[in-house]
Amino acid sequence: MDLFEAIAKRACVRDLEAVDIPEEDLLKILDAGRRAPSGMNRQPFEFLVIRDPETIKALASAQSCIGDVSCAIALVADPERSRWWLEDISAATENMLLAITALGYATVWIEGTLLREEATHKTTLGVPESLRLMILLPIGKAKEPVAQPAKRPLEEMVYWEKWGGKG
């Protein structure tokens, strides 16, 4: 699948089923995250691949769909490495979301429910206290086809040359 097709098809999928993910595909997903832009190229993030079923079950308290997969990726940020750490980890996440879609898998960006129990999940994963466990990406297959939600028409959100200019 090419980039523009992946962008058009990417959707948040919570109704996931477990699927074996070859290491080759995992490495492509991780490399996509690694190649994201970051302020001054500081790359203040690390990736943690989780495949242990007991650990995945424990993480499901952040969002139940995590418990339905055989693999998840945690994105961990180091706020001390860059003042743009939040933007940087977001860019890495988006690259990974697109790679997951392009490879034919499905996922959902889990953050808010994760952060409510961040300390607990950091303990589960052995993440140092000084770092932030920001995002979990459970990876699986969609149990049913999922379409991207409708987006605003481009002509409603693009101006040309000056604010309000409609070309």
pLDDT tens for 74-129 read 999 999 999 999 999 999 999 999 999 999 999 999 999 999 999 999 999 999 99
Share of the chain above pLDDT 70, in %: 100
Query: Residue 3: pLDDT band by 50, 70, 90 thresholds?
Result: very high
Cβ atoms of 76 and 46 closer than 8 Å? yes
CATH number at residue 30: 3.40.109.10
Residue 108 lies in a domain: yes
Residue 165 lies in a domain: no
Residue 69 has pLDDT above 80, yes or no: yes
Residue 40 has pLDDT above 80, yes or no: yes
Alpha carbon of 165 to those of 152, 154, 158: distances in Å? 18, 13, 8
Rounded mean pLDDT, 146-155: 94
Domain range enclosing 110? 3-157
Residue 59 lies in a domain: yes
Residue 70 lies in a domain: yes
Query: Residue 166: pLDDT band by 50, 70, 90 thresholds?
Result: confident
The domain tally of the chain equals: 1
H or E stretch including 145? none
Mean pLDDT of the chain: 96
Residue 167 lies in a domain: no
**pTM for the whole thing?**
0.95
Residue 151 lies in a domain: yes
Residue 136 lies in a domain: yes
